[in-house]
Structure formats: C-alpha cells, structure tokens
Amino acid sequence: MQITRQPDYAIRAVLYLATMNSSDRASTSLIASAQGIPSSFLAKIVSQLSIAGIIHTSRGAKGGVTLAKEPGTISLLDVVEAIDGPVSLNECTLNPAACNRSDFCPMHPIWCAAQSELVGKLGSTNFSQFV
C-alpha cells in the first residue's frame, strides 16, 4: 500500500493551513507554491476537503482557504479518508463477505490487525502535533 499523491498533497495543504493564524486565509495559489503542489491537483483537493468539513473556502477579494476546525481536531486519517475514502489494506478488511476465503484464510487476521494499527496511528495523529 502506498499513500497516493492526492492525500499526500492534501496533508501538505492542511499542514500549511495549520501553521497560519486561525483568522488568516490563504489563496490556493499560495498554498500550491509554498507546498510544491500542482495547482490543478490542489483545486480538486480543496473541494474534497471542503466537502469533508476540514477546510472552509470563500471567494472574493478577502477570500481564500482556512481550516474549518482546530488543528488538534483534524487527524491524518480524516484527511486521507476525505480524499481516498476508507483506508483498506485489502478488500476483505472492510468487507469480509467480499472474499469467500475470509473464514479460513490465514492472512485475513494479519490484514485486519495491520489495518487496525495503521488506522489507529493515522487517527491518533493530529495536525497540532506538527505545528
């Protein structure tokens, strides 16, 4: 499993916003430039993060992007799942019925344990830890 570019860029964008004063707004072009994110990628990411309630966006002369929550309440898991959906190391970890072998497969408990550890770590790591 590998974190794809989109959640990686989303994490960078949220991290950038977490370092700002809560009353400040940043333009997407500023975030893209500061974090080395292609603007075309960032537009879609910002939309997904806004839908997930992680950031606020506003248009106009005083518009921009800001966090919708305190950095300490936003986890890495929140951001990854806002972009990619639920973390799943294997299809059977989210839906055991998807595999007709899950009842006797020796790997099923390993995948589930590894996924649980990964989700736990991402869920317990918030953006105030990086600021």
**Mean pLDDT computed over every residue of the chain:** 92
- Per residue in 45-103, pLDDT (tens digit) is 999 999 999 999 998 777 899 999 999 999 999 999 999 999 988 888 888 888 888 67
Domains and CATH numbers, the chain: 5-129 (1.10.10.10)
User: What tens digit of pLDDT does each residue of 18-36 get?
Assistant: 999 888 999 999 999 999 9
- Angstrom CA distances, 120 to 5, 21, 62, stand at 21, 29, 38
Measured CA to CA in angstroms, residue 111 lies from 2, 95, 107, 108, 119 at distances of: 15, 12, 6, 5, 12
CA distances from 48 to 7, 14, 43, 101, 107 (A): 10, 12, 9, 35, 33
Name the band, by pLDDT with cuts 50, 70 and 90, for residue 1.
low
Task: Using CB atoms within 10 Å of the CB of residue 76, give its burial: 0 to 12 exposed, 13 to 18 middle, 19+ buried.
Answer: buried
